[in-house]
């Protein structure tokens, strides 16, 4: 479990390694998340294309911000996301 920051200042809040799976998790305390808010995840994915990006926020329902799923924080520990 660690935080990631590029030499250019792009950041990902939480990176988890679970066996062969690398999760890149951005945490936003807002309901409104756009792909602009997720530039750090985009930079991380350029270096680690096999990683699984996800954004956790206070949104009431899941949606996609570009190619990144944004989920309500309550769903983070549900079987749907943990078993991916």
The pLDDT value given to residue 74: 86
Joined tokens for residue 30:
């807002």
Beta-carbon contacts of 26 under 8 Å, excluding residues fewer than 6 positions away, are 12, 13, 14, 37, 38, 40, 41, 53, 54, 55, 56, 68
Model confidence, pTM: 0.85
The pLDDT value given to residue 18: 86
The pLDDT value given to residue 53: 96
Fold of the domain built from segment(s) 2-82 = Trna Endonuclease; Chain: A, domain 1 (3.40.1350)
- Stronger pLDDT, 82 or 6, i.e. the higher one: 6
Q: What's the mean pLDDT in 72-82? A: 76
């Amino acid at each position: 479990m660690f935080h990631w920051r590029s030499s250019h200042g792009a950041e990902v809040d939480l990176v988890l390694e679970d066996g062969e799976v690398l999760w890149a998790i951005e945490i936003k305390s807002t309901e409104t998340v756009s792909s602009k808010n997720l530039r750090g995840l985009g930079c991380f994915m350029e270096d680690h294309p096999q990683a699984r990006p996800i954004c956790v926020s206070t949104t009431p329902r899941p949606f996609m911000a570009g190619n990144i799923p944004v989920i309500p924080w309550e769903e983070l520990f549900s079987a749907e996301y943990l078993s991916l």
